[in-house]
Structure 1
């Protein structure tokens, strides 16, 4: 238990910056590096396995084509060995060269040409019948130059067919030869002279087969004596350095297990530059992937952690100031996360501390201001009551003259003005029924309607249950007057005021809505600041400020007052009285 507490205490003692750094290194950086290294090793191994498989397929394909060429030649050799008419013509003893040439033109000249194909360079028959004239496809073995190449090997071989390679020193097409030689002894009745077939493979065809795979594999054909026969153009011995050869990329493929192909094989050496290019591409791709996968999370985490660290440091510094009795607000963009919530809570706490400290002093000043406002209001009312009989007698005289002359509209307005003045001067109570306040407001609206005519109109939406609720006197009419003066006066037509009173579970909500010019948000904030301040600015918006102060005076701050406005659309003034204060 003590060890566990000590461990947590140790973690708690680490500065926040180093905790973030530790989390980043252990949880992000090292796993990304390890994953990319593992991915690179697996990718490299897969590339090598895939390339080795491709090399095996390439050498198998080349070996298959070479074996096909040889098998074609072996089959041709056996077909020649099974032609009894050819045996009879070659085993005959000719009396003179003329007799041979007659036979040659009639039968032997075109006998072997029908066996020619793209894979076969030449087909010849060797014999020791000296009555035959050497030429074209038929050779008489008289001396060393005309002796069948590989004859000794063929005689030592257990079979009748043998594949040999040698250098042709005579004739028009000298150079490397790969030939299939075979004994012609099928028919014992024609055995007076020895006869052998020799089929030369097309070396260029073999060379093209070996060079077909040069992009990835260099091939060399090796005979039974382990001597190179034909190599591709870039086989290591002809241009590829030993540093390019790796043991895992050297392949051998036997051409078959038949006696005449005993020891023949293909040796393939991979061109490692191709594999290295693939590995380099994989390395660069994984390197860029690693860089991106490190940089993107690192940048993201840097900004996130910087945001956290910066705001927590700010909060810590301001909390340190609180110890020194300095109650400064944290003036930064808080954000909507948990730290932002802490900062907002801290600012709220500091604001309340300010309020608690200052309320003791401000409360007395505020009460004195409210009392002074009441005295001023009462004084103003007293002054307005000076000689009211003179005012009412004058209005009555105007009413008599208007009625006598048929000025009906003027008479109605004078009546409304008289009633408005009587209610304004005669009532001294401060809380009246909502219905009476609405009647008083209606009188004022009728006068405004007379002033503006068809350009002005007003509507009421009053909850019947709310009419009997009591509200401060002169709490709706000043809002209506302010709407007419500041909102509708600049509008040319379609001026409308809508008054609503709704009673719900939370209390009574009264709204005065106009479709006037509205105001900008900066101006609205300044207006709200002015009406909530202890002193009015330049004597403006006195009516709205009086409504706000009356609500605070009668309801001790439980009632709320707000104004919403949008430029070009209109303004809405609202106050809410809680149910328990009605």
Structure 2
């Protein structure tokens, strides 16, 4: 894509992301605010419903007791061992009490009275309003009512009614005087919240103190049955209670009235709450579309103005690359691209000057090639000198053999072989086997010179002889053992050369039984920079040792190198730590590099 297109798409993408983020946040905040406000409003409404419900039910409870108090039923029930006539009178008093109670309010459907001895009396407002199912025959139910000590018990009843049961006690003796049961039409409870349900599109459930759903409060929808089945009414203290039924989310509010007599539950679907957010959605989407259109136009203008200098610069570079003709660019602005165009003007002028000097450079190159040939010729001449030296040494060796000087001849032969090998070996890394062969020849010369004063012992692990090591790594150590260990100590000197493996590390050791070194001398050998100006005995050998240490560190890292252990007058051991590198590993590495 062109730079102009990239700028345009970048601007549009950034604006799209920002507008979508802002729109999404505004929409979510609006919806959450609606939910929060609705929840608060719902809690306020069901609070009012709870107050009204407490008032209505308390009025019913007080009315039942007030009619009992003003009737003569209390005195009649206090009589014992009644004759048949008084028994009839007693039943008449009970019937009068129930009749006055049922017809005192139009919403009372039926009433029942259970005497202390268990006899029951019932009356209904209409002929078919039977109090069947009121629990009159359930002794446990009656015992539960008595245990409430005059506090009313409310529970769902048959035929669309709500039941109120209350134990009565004598005004004079305080003894249990029976139980009164009232059947109240559910409309008397439902009209407290019917209008609220219509306005809020919610569903309100009434639960008694035993968490029983008052079925008289209307038909129970499926989500309300699910709510009761899962006992979600116990989660009234959650900050934002909700549940999902039939792939629909519902919010619910639970409020307990005073003395925990009733629980008022309001359930409303989230779809109903957010139904009014369609306008928010419409305007959010509209603003996003309009913003993108305006932003695209502005982005196109801005990207074109930004890239005008780039187009001019590109055209000039294309023309210059063809025939080195350059027309001065006059940038439209002084931004970074405009400055780059000015710099290109200067660069083009410099390039033209360089092109003009190419011919002169070609002449200089020809002269340089001629000089290179001369240097190669001189290098070829220099290679003749070592061969002359080899031939001379071989001639001396032959003359010594002819004259019977076997030892001198052997010495000359070893020296020539050693010199040929030291000058002829190529590369900085070679097998340990070749390095040991070189050391053997080097030590053979010294054994001829020192005769029986030197004994050489090799302690080698044959499996390590193909390992790769740096060239000339052992010679400075062996030379140090001879010069500073064996020569300065009377008696026979023993030099040990060994190799062994320690994990993936190759250990090379050169030891002697010479005069040894103290700790200060060892530190001076390994760290000469710490002792500036101090005289060093045989500087050549000491430089060779520290050179080996530094070479190993450069090649393999700080974990490898030399370590010296010595006891004055007894021995010196120099150990070299190297990584084990096999011949086949080196070949694979070189093949990979190729």
Q: TM-score, normalised by structure 1?
A: 0.40
